[in-house]
Structure 1
Amino acid sequence: MPELPDVEGFRKVLDSCARDRRIQQVDVYDAGVLHDVGERRFRRELEGRSFTRPERHGKWLLAPTGGPTLMLHFGMTGRLVCCRPDDERHPHDRVAFTVGRDRQLRYRDQRKLKGLWLSDDDGVARTLDLQGPDAAAVAREDFDALLGRRRGAVKAALTDQSVIAGIGNLLADEILWRSRLHPSRRADRLTDGERARLHGDMRSVLRSSMRAECVPPRDSWLTGHRDDPRGTCPRCGTSLSHGRTSGRSTVWCPHCQPEKA
């Protein structure tokens, strides 16, 4: 599932492919990915405009046009691809924006769990008001306050977009493994030192992942071993545990991340 680093990568694709280029044509191959707007109005509102500087908040990508803002959420399988207009259409291409004469920005999504919205400034604000602060920018003091109000599992707090925006399953497991915290620890019972370590590790993992534009499956990371049914902890060699925390599949090291009350 695309998480904050992936969406940052998509922001770079949009910026390099389409920024300041006139939207010559919008092709909607599957209107099922459009939300709160019909195909005809979607094309009418965007054709002739230009994408300006794109922004990201958590897992949301915002593409202003000088009129409405195109808001993109990638669900589990969405992505942006920069192509030439005459490149063969992929079976999962849902919407294409021809920008200038030689480029086409395509929204590609197999499962279509999220999609595209057109919003004015008030609509963008309403959407972002439901999100917590961006995980890559949240200050330590705000992070402490947010976790201190959560009585549930720390993993559930990290992956709740209304608490902190941008962290999904892979990032949460990686960050908690770095911090040596069991995923089911209660967020409001973490010590000051544990919260400080968690915040620092979150920022470090995000910086590396944003450079890679994904959560990289490196041998020195938990992510590089989590999909191996016989995977071992890259830090201590203990067999990894697999389970569910707050309904999410979860991987952790029982030695490095002992469960506490």
Structure 2
Amino acid sequence: MPELPDVEGFRRVAQRATNHQVRDVRVHDAQVLRGITSDSFQRALRRRYFAEPRRHGKWLLIPTAGAANAPASLPWVLLHFGMTGNLQWCPHDAELHQHDRVVFDFTIGELRYRDMRKLTGIHLARELAEVDGLLAELGPDAERIEAAEFGERLTRTRRRLKPALMDQSVLAGLGNISTDEILWRARIQPNRATTELTSEELGQLHREMRTMLRTAVRAGRIPDGASWLTGHRDEPDRRCPRCSTALRRSRVGGRSTLWCPTCQPD
């Protein structure tokens, strides 16, 4: 599932279209459009220019403009990538992938929304109130939240730590893999209650989250190197990259969770 670092990578892909005019929009599967028909979506965006894309949590927001380098204005394209979505930049002559659902055509190439399972999709906001409405239930972006607010939002939820971190209304952007990585780095057990965390543990958790996200955002994905917990998720003999203890896998909050019983004791 695309998480905050992946969506930041998609933002950089979309950035290639900044200040370029949409020549055409080809909708190959209207099921990914939310609340708008193919014809209306195409008419609203043809001859508009894409402005600088933005990201909040797992959402990618692309304002449009009336001309190159003009101030960003409405409508906005809002994309969510669900379980299997991504953005691809392709030359015009690249073969259409079977899961390319919407193609934005520019003189310099094509921006393609590709998604196998179609669990979420693309919205078009014609008013800023629509943008606010789509993002209203999201918490602060995990990459930008400050330590004090991070601690306050976590401890007021009164639940287990991992589900709290993954709750997009508490904190926007973290998913299953990034949460496991952060908890392992902070040496905190995923089943801990948020209300039991000390101020020192909250500070450590925030620092490790920021450090991990900073590295992952640069890569445009959560790295799977040998020093990362993520790099050992799929090994048959999973060992902690820090202490070599056999890793444990259990379900926490309904999600498959990987953790080290030595580094993350109960």
Please give the TM-score of this superposition, normalised by the length of structure 1: 0.97
Please give the alpha-carbon distance, in whole angstroms, between the structure 2 residues aligned to 1:64 and 1:154. 35
Q: Specify the SS of the correspondent of 1:197.
A: helix
1:29 is aligned to 2:36: no
Shift of 1:94: 0.3
Q: Specify the SS of the correspondent of 2:78.
A: strand
Q: Please list the CA deviations of residues 160-216 of structure 1 after superposition, one character each: whole Å capped at 9, or x if unmatched.
A: 000000000010000000011110100121000000000000000000100110001
Please give the alpha-carbon distance, in whole angstroms, between the structure 1 residues aligned to 2:149 and 2:9. 26
Q: Which runs of 5+ in 1 are unaligned?
A: none
Q: Specify the SS of the correspondent of 2:182.
A: helix
Q: Please list the CA deviations of residues 88-110 of structure 1 after superposition, one character each: whole Å capped at 9, or x if unmatched.
A: 101110000001x2311100111
Q: Which runs of 4+ in 1 moved over 4 A?
A: none
1:108 is aligned to 2:114: yes
Match in the other structure for 1:43:
42
Q: Specify the SS of the correspondent of 2:202.
A: helix
1:248 is aligned to 2:255: yes
Match in the other structure for 2:132:
125
1:59 is aligned to 2:66: no
Please give the alpha-carbon distance, in whole angstroms, between the structure 1 residues aligned to 2:149 and 2:249. 31
Partner letter of residue 129 of structure 1? Answer: A
Please give the alpha-carbon distance, in whole angstroms, between the structure 2 residues aligned to 1:102 and 1:214. 26
Q: Which runs of 5+ in 2 are unaligned?
A: 65-72
1:180 is aligned to 2:179: no
1:80 is aligned to 2:87: yes
Q: Specify the SS of the correspondent of 2:40.
A: helix
Identity between Structure 1 and Structure 2 (%) = 51
Match in the other structure for 2:4:
4
Match in the other structure for 1:226:
233
Q: Specify the SS of the correspondent of 1:156.
A: helix
Please give the TM-score of this superposition, normalised by the length of structure 2: 0.95
Q: Specify the SS of the correspondent of 1:224.
A: helix
1:200 is aligned to 2:207: yes
Partner letter of residue 3 of structure 2? Answer: E
Please give the alpha-carbon distance, in whole angstroms, between the structure 1 residues aligned to 2:236 and 2:221. 22
